[in-house]
Amino acid sequence: MNITDKLFSIFTRDVVLFVTTLLTGVVIARYLGPEKMGIWTLLLLIPGYAEAFGRLQLDTSSVYFIGKGKIKLGEVAFILHLVSMIMVSVIALVGFLNIDFLHNQIFENVEMDVQEFIYGVFLIIPLRFIYINYSYLLIAREEIKAYNKLVIIQALTTSALSIGMIMLMDFGILGALMGSILGLLISIIYGISKVNSIDKIRPNFNTSLIIEMAKYSAHLYISGLVGFFQNNIGVLIAAHYVAPAQIAFFALGKSISEISTRMVPAAVNTILFPRVSSSNDEKGAIELVTRSFRVTLLIISTTTVILFYLIKPIVFILYGEDYYSLIDIFVIIIASVVMVQSSSVLMSYLTGSGNAHLLPKLSILPLLLQIALSFFLVPDLGIL
């Protein structure tokens, strides 16, 4: 399968993801209402922050090391799962010892009792770690069809189960939670069968190699942590000042911006990362990446202009008049989302070419600026 075929395959997958993600978000938003939708958004911060702090990015660096022929697929699978289980155990211990702190900090403006839901979202964390491991193992071997199936299985099962339990069984937030857990579990079963058919998991205690992987992953970890804070710190700060319904408007406005612009760069990045990692032609890799950046920026800029003029009727049809407030969020944030999605192509080059140490250096100043501006602006302007 050549690059064009792989890109088309991934793009087709992302169209399916776009539809399922949008449909699930619409159903959850309409049936839960703005307030409970905001609570669900806040609940998802817990596995989100757990992943940001506990996922050491060995999964991402494994693509680079497999591409360079330094380690076998089955050996790196053992390392990834072992490290993931250690980190999940630490996260669970810290989380359960500080459950009241989490409740008070994140759900300060929430009136309903959400403590049982907090315990429930902790089940997402180990499943999410394992799912990510299998995703990167398949990417490392450029098993694009299998990777696409893994992602689609997770998206479709999560969507179908969440919608069914919310609409048909009236489970509310619990339905969204159960759908997320079962969707991850079913996709993991597929990932296990596919990776094991390529190479069986076997122990690897090559200490020097593991240390080398850890050093490379450290740059990715810092960059990933900074990137996560860039994407989520606004919600965490806003939770101290605004009602859950306002959080819902912000989350949905940002979500529409992201899902409408990520299909093309996601497809390009999935191909570029392992291709750059295994390439010995630096000039050719740079030319490929810069061309990909220009094409990506042109495509998503064009589609965004169209979406900009259609956003009001789209929101009315999908979510209803109660969610008109998210339009202002979309208008404010869309330009920055377009640039972030386009430049992710350049990030794939830096990661795949062994220059991951540059990523945190590029990211830290924008994050500090965002935090300072959030504390300065949110108390007066709210979610806007």
pLDDT tens for each residue of 328-344:
989 998 988 899 888 88
Q: What is the pTM of this model?
A: 0.75
Please name the amino acid found at residue 142.
E
The whole-number pLDDT of residue 231 equals 80
- pLDDT, residue 161, reads 92
Q: What digits encode the pLDDT tens for the residues 179-214?
A: 999 999 999 999 999 998 888 888 877 788 888 888
DSSP 288-339: HHHHHHHHHHHHHHHHHHHHHHHHHHHHHHHT-GGGTHHHHHHHHHHHHHHH
Q: Rounded to whole angstroms, how far apart are CA atoms 255 and 103?
A: 25
Per-residue pLDDT, 4: 63
Distances in Å between the Cα of 166 and the Cα atoms of 159, 161, 163 are 11, 8, 5
Residue numbers of the chain with a pLDDT score lower than 50: none
**Alpha helices in the chain, H assignment, sequence order:** 3-43, 45-54, 58-67, 73-97, 99-106, 115-121, 124-140, 144-163, 173-198, 207-238, 244-259, 263-278, 282-318, 325-352, 358-381
Contact indicator for 219, 357 with CB cutoff of 8 Å: yes
H or E element in which residue 79 lies: helix 73-97
CA distance linking residue 280 with residue 287, whole number of Å: 13
Contacts of 111 (CB under 8 A, 6+ apart): none
Cα 50 to the center of its chain, rounded Å: 13
Longest alpha-carbon distance in the chain: 59
Catalogue the long-range contacts made by 98-107 (C-beta closer than 8 Å, 24 or more residues apart): 102/46, 106/42, 106/45, 106/46, 106/236, 106/239, 107/39, 107/42, 107/239
What are 66's two structure tokens?
A: 């497999």
Identify the burial level of 372 via C-beta atoms within 10 angstroms of its C-beta, where 0-12 means exposed, 13-18 middle and 19 or more buried: exposed
CA end-to-end span of the chain: 46
CA distances from 369 to 234, 258, 372, 376 (A): 12, 21, 5, 11
Query: Are 367 and 291 a contacting pair, CB within 8 Å?
Result: no
d(CA 179, CA 10): 24
The DSSP code for 261 is T
**pLDDT at residue number 359:** 77
Q: What does the alpha-carbon distance between residue 161 and residue 27 come to, in Å, rounded to a whole number?
A: 12
The Cα–Cα gap between 241 and 381 comes to 10
